Amino acid sequence: MTQEITAILIVADDKNDLWPLESPRFPFSCIPFFGGLTLLESAWQRLCRITTADHIWLLCPPDACPLAADLLPEADKEKIIPNELGTLEALFRFSLMLRERYAADIVLISRAAMIAGDEEIFTQNMQNAIRLARVSDCLIVCGVPAREARIGYDYIIAGEARLGANPVEGRDVREFIVNAGAREAAYAMKSGNAWWNSGVYIWSNATFLAEYETHNHEFAAEPEHRESASLEEALFPRAKNLVLFGASIVFSPLRNYEDIARYIRGDAAHNLGAGNIVFHNSKSCLAYNTTERLLVVSGLRDTLLVQTEDAVFVCPRGDEGRVREIMEELTHKRIL
């Protein structure tokens, strides 16, 4: 690829439900949770195979910027941008800056908190998606085939119309479902053309700005929501030139505790634990401990437990979808 590719890494995912494991100071992508490299460092390495390091920007929570800079010493510190906006408004302002100050052609956006599998396969897929973006003047959303109904995932239901030819081929998007509930996920799977949204997007800067301006009057009608809205909920369901690129990558977004649990080895009683944890007479529990203190889980069933330096969170396993609701309540009460 050439220096015309501008890459944007979104350090903290506004769709995550990982409190208190994740915080504004410590996005999950910056935590060496699996040992070795953090997800942010791995994502940086993937993008360096597609463009040059000086063409990679980071959108980062203000409190986490120093941590991101420490993890990526090779990154240009001026390109680590403090951001408290939703992804829609943040990318719009960033795109205006690119148009005014840089000769940006193609823009690639990727969330850092994801596992993408083999780097060579990822690179090949992105190169093909970039070619599709160049010839189509469309917003390219990279999706992977949905294997099952998963709550909280974004679903893309593909239409029959096709653009280009394999391996540089796109499909029209019949429907884009954000943060699917159980009923919506089941509906998507029944369509027979369901894809999970990978959180990787590619388009020309001019195409994105034109699409934003097309719907600007709709965004302006809700100015408060506009500041916090995500790209997926505000723009994609409205966009008329959204195109699915079917990527053959391993994909896991790691947005909630059950996503992470798939990478943890369990014991004979189906308990899953990461950190300094002892299970006693418990079954099917999921526990995370980021402290040096011992966490003992005794006599519990189907329970999620998270212990960090800042808080302890306990709830029935499968009910962790209420994390965002709890965070909003704690913020309203000024506890967080």
- Note the pLDDT of residue 3: 45
Rounded distance, CA 206 to CA 33, Å?
Answer: 38
Reading the chain (336 residues) residue by residue, the pLDDT tens digits are: 444 799 999 999 776 788 898 888 899 999 887 778 999 999 999 999 999 999 999 999 999 999 999 999 999 999 999 998 888 999 999 999 998 887 668 999 999 998 888 889 999 999 999 999 998 889 999 999 999 998 889 999 999 888 876 778 999 999 999 989 889 999 999 999 999 999 999 999 999 999 999 998 887 777 667 788 889 999 999 998 999 999 888 777 788 888 889 889 999 999 999 999 999 999 999 999 999 999 999 999 999 999 999 899 999 997 766 777 777 787 777 776
Please state whether beta strands 295-298 and 106-111 pair in parallel, antiparallel, or not at all (unpaired).
unpaired
Domain count, the chain: 2
Same domain as 49, residue 153: yes
Same domain as 313, residue 280: yes
Rounded distance, CA 117 to CA 196, Å?
Answer: 15
- Note the pLDDT of residue 242: 95
Rounded distance, CA 310 to CA 290, Å?
Answer: 10
Count of other CB atoms within 10 angstroms of residue 99: 14
Q: Which pTM does this prediction carry?
A: 0.90
Rounded distance, CA 137 to CA 218, Å?
Answer: 22
CA-CA-CA-CA dihedral for 270, 275, 276, 281, to nearest 10: -10
Cβ atoms of 316 and 336 within 8 Å: the answer is no
Same domain as 244, residue 163: yes
- Note the pLDDT of residue 305: 95
Range of the domain at 289: 258-332
Same domain as 314, residue 228: no
Same domain as 181, residue 328: no
Q: What is the CA radius of gyration of the chain?
A: 20
- Note the pLDDT of residue 43: 95
Tell me the residue length of the chain. 336
- Of 231, 255, 279, the residue that ends a domain is 255
- Note the pLDDT of residue 121: 92
Same domain as 271, residue 144: no
- Note the pLDDT of residue 1: 42
